[in-house]
Structures are given as C-alpha cells and as structure tokens.
Amino acid sequence: MMATTMTTTMMTTAMGARSLGGGGGRLRRGRAMTTTNKMRTPATRRDGGRARAAARDGAAAHDGIVDAGLVHESSLASCGFAPDRRGATTNGKTTTAKETARMWTSATCPFAHRPWLALVESGAPFELNVENLENKSEGFKATFARASPDASGNPSVPILEHAGATMVESALVLKYVSETFGNDALIPKDPLKGYYGQIFADTFQACVPLYFKMLRATNAEELAEAESAFVAGLKKANRCLELGTNAREDGPYACGAQFTTCDIMAMTFVPRFEIVLDHYRGFNLRVTLKENDCAALESWIAAVSTRPSMVYTLGEIEKMTGKSLTDAFIAHFAKFVSWNPKAATAA
Ligand SMILES: N[C@@H](CCC(=O)N[C@@H](CS)C(=O)NCC(=O)O)C(=O)O
C-alpha cells in the first residue's frame, strides 16, 4: 500500500481553531510562528546594519554593536576569530519556521506521536504521511535510508523533512520542532523546573522497555518479573514528581505550570500503557498507581490526558485508522505478544 498523504492545517494551542483539511487543503500558517519571527530579530537588523557595514569595511565584528572599550583584547572578535557576519541577515529559525514540515508517521506509534504533539502545540504548518508499517512504501524506505545513521536499518517512523533536511529519532525531532516553531514555548523556561521535568521524563521513559518486556513475556514467571520492574519504574517516576513538588507547585505538568517537551516525551505512552496492558496483561494502570500511593503521577496523568493537543491527536488516530482508540492500540502492539494468558487459560 502506498503511504497516505494527509494535509493538516495548523491548530492553535487553545485548540479553538482546530481543523483538519483532508485531501490537500490549503495550509494555513500558525499565529505562534508569526510571533517567532518577531521575537527572533537578528542582531544585524537590531543594530540597523552597522555591524555588517563594519565587517565589510574590515573593522572588528563588534564595531557598531558595543563600545570598543568593553571588548576584552582576548575576545574572539579582537583576535579575529569571531565568525564572519557578512551576509548574516537572519538566523535559522526566522526563515525555516515558515516552511511546511512533512512528517512520516504511523497513526498509532507512540514515538511519532511526540513530534506530532509538538507540531500541533506549536501551530506549525505541517503535513503527515501516514505509513503502513506492514507494507512500507519505497518513498518511505528511501527517505529513511537518506537520514538514518544506519542506512540499511529497519525503516522506522517518525521521519521529519523540513528546510531541506531529513531527520530521524523522535526525541531529536521533538526538540527540533519545539525549537523551530512556536517561539520555544515547549522548552522549559525555568532551569530548576526544567531539571525536575527532565529527570521525571527520563525516569518515566525507563518504564518503556519494561512495558515491552511485559508484552513479550512468554510465561507467568517472566510476566511477574517484568511487571514488578515496571511498577518499580512507575514509583520512581512518581518520586521524581514528588522531589520537584516545591519547584513545580504552580502547575500539574512535569515543569509545573509550563507544558513542555518533558511532558511530551513521556505522555504518549500513557494511553498505550492503559489500554494495551489492560487488554493483554490484565494490568490496570490507574488501580496500580492508587495501590502504590503514586498520587503525583496520577495528577500528572490527569493533566496530560486532558491536554487539548492530546485529546485532538487521539481523536485523529481514530479517524486515520477507522478504529476505536482501544482497537487501534491493541492492533498496533499485537506483534509484540506471542503468549496470551487469557488464551492459555481458555485453552
Ligand atoms: N528510537 C526510535 C523508535 C521509533 C520506532 O520504534 N518506531 C516504530 C513504530 S512505533 C517503527 O517504525 N518500527 C518499524 C517497524 O515496525 O517496522 C524513535 O524514537 O524515533
């Protein structure tokens, strides 16, 4: 099957103006992007072009920007090692945020869901190429081979094409999208909150391989072992939120009031954990968190689960797959499950 191209119009953070223009609808540009352009005025424009003029005349790179007396003789500018600023009329963000991003994705992939959330949150102009991972298109394979460190590796989503570049790996693509579009709104602003958000995100993410271990278990003993490691991982993630209580007291997200990439890195797994583990392993995430006094993690889950971009993208997954979210996620992760205790009991 060929990849389906879905042209998606931008959606504002408030989700008030959300719309999905299928079938090649005209792309609208995000409000946040306009703000980015305003905020990112390059130094050469701020100083009225004096620095460029100075560089052209062979003067020091700082001429016209700061008083000569303020520049230490060991500075890069004085030593002549400062980057050549001639022709530097803009920075990367100013120009590239206007270009439409194309993301190769699979509707149900938790990794591709990360940059998708960031694209939506940022009001970026983007298109989705929804790939059938069971029957990959030649275009998808070639695009992956162009960008992956392992050109002959198994092609995977997400892949982002933007500004003439092709990028792989969800965490890096998420970072790129967040920095390129939407005025850095998703990047933690406060360093301490950022610390707590990141340690939480990293710790929560350590549960992901344990989740796959639970799905891959081939007998009750393996499952019990994987499950207890998974629960221990959840408790550690809960502890990270607790450790950051004072810093994060202004809001429910990993960094407090600010919704950031730290939330996005972790949150896409929440509905998968809930639905897939319940179905294949009879494991109830919410009950487990309650039984293990993980109130901080429960509050974070409540906040990210109701985030408008999350609600919106989950709805889109149903539209793309033509299935309920439950059926779509169960089908996506079926390939990891070779032993099903329910089926074993029934047999
Ligand atoms: N480390 C990668 C993992 C991406 C990944 O595993 N994607 C899965 C889909 S959820 C994939 O495309 N697998 C290839 C396949 O199913 O053949 C990332 O974070 O981007």
Mean local confidence (pLDDT), 271-286: 98
Q: What is the pLDDT of residues 158-211, one digit of tens each?
A: 999 999 999 999 999 999 999 999 889 999 999 999 999 999 999 999 999 999
The whole-chain average pLDDT of the chain stands at 81
> Residue 19 Cα, ligand 1 centroid: separation in angstroms?
27
> Using an 8 Å Cβ cutoff, are 215 and 276 in contact?
yes
> Using an 8 Å Cβ cutoff, are 325 and 317 in contact?
yes
- Match 């409540």 to its residue by tokens: 302
Q: What is the pLDDT of residues 120-164, one digit of tens each?
A: 999 999 999 999 999 999 999 999 999 999 999 999 999 999 999
Whether residues 125 and 258 share a domain: the answer is no
Burial of 230 (0-12, 13-18, 19+ CB in 10 A): buried
Whether residues 333 and 209 share a domain: the answer is yes
> HSE on the CB side for 161, CA within 13 Å?
14
> Residue 217 Cα, ligand 1 centroid: separation in angstroms?
20
Whether residues 144 and 293 share a domain: the answer is no
The residue from 184, 218, 236 where one domain ends is: 184
Whether residues 31 and 48 share a domain: the answer is no
CATH code, domain carrying 143: 3.40.30.10
Whether residues 65 and 116 share a domain: the answer is no
Whether residues 79 and 198 share a domain: the answer is no
CATH code, domain carrying 319: 1.20.1050.10
The domain total for the chain is 3
The residue from 138, 164, 184 where one domain ends is: 184
Whether residues 169 and 203 share a domain: the answer is no
d(CA 114, CA 105): 11
Whether residues 271 and 297 share a domain: the answer is yes
* Ligand 1 pocket test, candidate residues 111, 150, 167, most atoms within 8 A of CB: 111
* Ligand 1 pocket test, candidate residues 157, 166, 268, 321, most atoms within 8 A of CB: 157
Q: What angle do CA 335, 127, 1 make, to 5 degrees?
A: 45
Whether residues 224 and 180 share a domain: the answer is no
> Residue 67 Cα, ligand 1 centroid: separation in angstroms?
53
Which region among 93-97, 204-208, 305-309 has the lowest average model confidence (pLDDT)? 93-97
Whether residues 14 and 135 share a domain: the answer is yes
Please give all residues whose beta carbon lies within 6 A of any atom in ligand 1, as ranges.
Answer: 106, 109, 111, 133, 154, 156-158, 169-170
- Whether residue 13 is predicted with pLDDT greater than 50 in this model: the reply is no
d(CA 132, CA 322): 14
The residue from 161, 184, 207 where one domain ends is: 184
> Residue 78 Cα, ligand 1 centroid: separation in angstroms?
49
Whether residues 233 and 302 share a domain: the answer is yes
Query: How far from 234 is each of 45, 249, 293, CA to CA, in Å?
Result: 49, 21, 11
Q: Which atom of ligand 1 is nearest to the CA of 112?
A: 20
> Residue 310 Cα, ligand 1 centroid: separation in angstroms?
20
Whether residues 84 and 114 share a domain: the answer is no
The residue range of the domain holding 177 is 4-35+94-184
Q: What is the pLDDT of residues 33-82, one digit of tens each?
A: 222 222 222 333 333 344 344 444 444 444 444 455 554 555 544 545 54
Q: Which atom of ligand 1 is nearest to the CA of 106?
A: 9
